[in-house]
Structure 1
């Protein structure tokens, strides 16, 4: 699977995100690429998100499918400001990070902050709970019409 992720389509737009997550989970999970870090039956919950985005996705294959279209909307150029908080007793890792890029549809800048709460078991991610700033998505998409940040 790692040959398809990197900077190649359909996942090239996600590369900065994949790199920062892998850095944040270094030493805790096994895998060549982002998707390899996930258990087959991983559960993702998008708690604070945007309208139209699923609130819950189950399974690695479904996450791959969900992320495969990301480059149609956003092109990330970087990810930074990683803060990692680990609790070895509960196998929970909190990742705080930022991503930066451009909306493919509007050409507007996209700068967002995330908090991802990740549970690891047997060196794989089994649960991912995500929080983002939906206003950053709206600003990049130019929604509502005429809104300027």
Structure 2
């Protein structure tokens, strides 16, 4: 990826890295000062991560908890700001610990500057994590 990589292309590349379980590669798409926000995070969960190192620490164990198989639905919307996209997507796979299915829908607002993610707001469903059997509860609760 280069500084001229379009945000949509960078995002799609990032999804492939997640499917490949290449977390260091995915973190490599981040700016050193990037901000990762979770506006709907329940109490006790991170609502904001500041900096690439914090993102790396948060994502480090992801493949140990969630085995992503596919993103069967990804729709990327351009905004009036060329560096910002809105993404609707669904990720599916299985929980590593139990083998149970993982199925989560997301909306993300992502800003890319100079070919790196500078701001990522992840709007996932916090109701799903109120069920301790849900994979996201196992993942996010461990961070």
Normalising by structure 1, we get a TM-score of: 0.66
Alpha-carbon distance in 2 for matches of 1:39, 1:58: 10
Match of 2:36 in 1: 44
Q: Is the 1:57–1:63 Cα contact (8 Å) retained in structure 2? A: yes
Q: Is the 1:48–1:134 Cα contact (8 Å) retained in structure 2? A: yes
Unaligned runs of 5+ in 2: 1-9, 17-23, 138-143
Alpha-carbon distance in 2 for matches of 1:89, 1:80: 27
Within a 5 Å distance, the mapping from 1:1-149 to structure 2 comes to: 20=12, 22=14, 33-50=25-42, 52-87=44-79, 89-139=81-131, 141=133
Alpha carbons of structure 1 residues 33 and 23: separation in structure 2 relative to 1, 3 Å: same
Unaligned runs of 5+ in 1: 1-17, 25-31, 144-149
Alpha carbons of structure 1 residues 131 and 97: separation in structure 2 relative to 1, 3 Å: same
Aligned residues: 119
The DSSP-based 3-state class of the residue aligned with 2:122 is strand
Alpha carbons of structure 1 residues 45 and 126: separation in structure 2 relative to 1, 3 Å: same
Q: Which has the larger radius of gyration?
A: 1
Alpha-carbon distance in 2 for matches of 1:138, 1:106: 17
CA shift at 1:62, angstroms? 1.1
Runs of 4+ in 1 over 6 A off after TM superposition: none
CA shift at 1:59, angstroms? 0.7
- For the aligned residue pairs, the C-alpha RMSD in angstroms reads 2.9
Normalising by structure 2, we get a TM-score of: 0.68
Alpha-carbon distance in 2 for matches of 1:21, 1:66: 20
Alpha carbons of structure 1 residues 77 and 139: separation in structure 2 relative to 1, 3 Å: farther
